[in-house]
């Protein structure tokens, strides 16, 4: 593998590869490679954010329709649907916050792994 794009294709989604495999990218291109991986990750997350925003918008429009229907008279089916929709909207907002945090601070699993490694190093040094 000699090109940055071939290396990126080799790494694949999430940057996972077997530990025995070497990433054969010239040192001068390494920074560019990681920029490439990071940019793809951010682009993917931005697409996800856009999809979540659209889902929130659609759910909010439906919620307005349900509130309007309930204002005309109580209906237990409409009330139950509204209750479920409220839960779905809250789930979507939480998902959006999680993706935004991932964009800003990095993958949660990677952060936890790094923290555990630092903790082991501190314990062994003490």
DSSP single-letter state for residue 30: H
Here the tokens at position 40 are 């793809």
Domain carrying residue 94: 4-125
| Residue 38: predicted pLDDT | 61
The count of structural domains within the chain is: 1
Is residue 105 within 8 A of residue 45, CB to CB? The reply is no
CB-based burial, 20-47: b 16+ in 10 Å, e otherwise = eeeeebeeeeeeebeebbeeebeeeeee
pLDDT digits (tens, 9 = 90+) for 2-58: 444 444 444 444 444 343 444 444 445 545 655 666 666 667 778 889 999 999 999
Q: Is the pTM of this model over 0.75?
A: no
pLDDT digits (tens, 9 = 90+) for 79-100: 999 999 999 999 999 999 988 9
For residues 107 and 19, which has the higher predicted lDDT (pLDDT)? 107
């Amino acid at each position: 593998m000699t090109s940055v794009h071939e290396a990126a294709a080799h790494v694949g989604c999430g940057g996972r590869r077997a530990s025995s495999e070497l990433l054969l990218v010239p040192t001068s291109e390494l920074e560019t490679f990681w920029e490439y991986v990071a940019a793809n990750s951010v682009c993917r997350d931005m697409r996800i954010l856009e999809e979540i925003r659209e889902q929130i918008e659609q759910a909010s429009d439906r919620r307005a329709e349900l509130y309007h229907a309930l204002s005309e008279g109580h209906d237990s089916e409409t009330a139950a649907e509204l209750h479920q929709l409220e839960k779905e909207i809250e789930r979507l907002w939480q998902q959006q916050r999680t993706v935004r945090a991932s964009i800003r601070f990095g993958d949660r699993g990677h952060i936890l792994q790094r923290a555990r490694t630092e903790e082991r190093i501190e314990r062994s040094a003490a």
